[in-house]
Amino acid sequence: GSEADASGNNSKETTLTFGFQTADYPALLEESGLFEDLPYKLETPVIAGPAAQISALYSQATDVGLVGENTAAFEAANAADDWNTTGPKVFTIAGFTAKNAPYPAPSLFVKKSANIQKLADLRGKSIAYNFGGNIYAGYVKVLANAGLTVNDIKPVQLPDNQAAAAAFSAGQVDAVVTGYAQIKRVVDSGEAVRLATNEDLGVDGGAGFITRPDVLDDPAKLAAVRDFFGRFSRFYREWYPANEAAVEKVLQSVLKQTPEVSKINWENGAKGRLYRVGDSAFIERQQKIVDAAFAAGGVKHQRDIKAVFNPIVDKESVPQ
């Protein structure tokens, strides 16, 4: 990181605390070797769940946190004050998605026996999902694209992805918004089919990286953030696709994934790239998701959420 060296001489004393939700990230970052000899100290606590991530961020236990791509937008739409006037309390500064992934997530899966050929057929059917993140975005876009409201279907909200997948696999619901890995069994056996992918639904999927304004105002921290995303971008572009064995090994040993699941995850992740959060088409898609969530009662206000997407590290994330 030569550019970071230039920005501050005592930046070795800067600590960047980057909260991840799963333990594979710290392991993969280390494995890649791209994050050695950093001009600042990097800490990578693992904090499960978006709510806990946001708490950690607000309480300054972390500087940057990994959440869903739309988490900050939902925060804005839920906030008591309009962030367009008060200024955002959190920014999404980067995002990560796997376009053209072989197993796109979130996707809509339906039971064959439920006789659902198109989104509109979901009327009166039960759909399982979990609140928050991409799954929820997928769910509200399913409704929006199908031209349905929550009153036209039987929504089944469950605590997490696993529970939703379990309900679907056990035949308790007609449809589910989830990833392929979770319900592989029923799809492979032919009991269920995929009806729509994230792209069909207008959900990018993947992760969002959020931070506080004061982190960006601190030059040393900002420099560290820029440096980090520069390396992180390379990590996804170069290292991850080229190191299938190493990645799967980490997924298996750290996350205890089965070889099958870890392979699915690697194949998806190998297509993964950071994207520009300043991209207007992207922001427009996010606005649609928030609007759809508002229609479904998932957020409290209909707000313009443009302001939470801060392109301050877009240059490092997506180098030309």
Q: Which residues bind other proteins (CB under 8 A)?
A: 19, 22-23, 26, 45-52, 54-56, 58-59, 61-62, 74-75, 78, 128, 131-132, 155-163, 165-167, 169-170, 172-173, 181-182, 185, 253, 255-258, 261, 299
CB of 45 to other proteins, least distance (A): 4
CA-to-CA distance for 91 and 94, rounded, in angstroms? 9
Structure tokens of 135? 């799954």
Q: Are strands 41-43 and 64-68 parallel, antiparallel or unpaired?
A: unpaired
For strand 107-111 and strand 91-98, is the pairing parallel, antiparallel, or unpaired?
unpaired
**Least CB distance from residue 279 to other proteins, whole Å?**
26
Instruction: Answer whether 123's CB lies under 8 Å from 110's CB.
Output: no
Q: Omega before 104 cis (within 30°)?
A: no
Nearer to other proteins, 173 or 220 (CB): 173
Closer CB to other proteins, residue 99 or residue 249?
Answer: 249
**Which residue's CB is nearer to other proteins, number 155 or number 311?**
155
Residue 181 tokens read as: 């890995």
Closer by beta carbon to other proteins, 48 or else 242? 48
Buried-exposed string 23-34: b where 16+ CB fall within 10 A, e elsewhere: ebbbbbbebbeb
- Provide, rounded to whole angstroms, the least separation between the CB of residue 9 and other proteins: 29
Helices (H), ranges, 196-276: 198-201, 213-217, 219-234, 240-242, 244-254, 259-270
The burial of 199, by beta-carbon neighbours within 10 Å (0-12 exposed, 13-18 middle, 19 or more buried), is given as middle
Q: What's the closest the beta carbon of residue 247 comes to other proteins, in angstroms?
A: 14
E strand or H helix at 65:
strand 64-68
- 29 or 156: CB nearest other proteins: 156
Give 76 or 283: the residue with its C-beta nearer to other proteins: 76
Closest distance between other proteins and the C-beta of residue 192, in Å?
A: 14
Cβ at position 185, least distance to other proteins in Å: 6
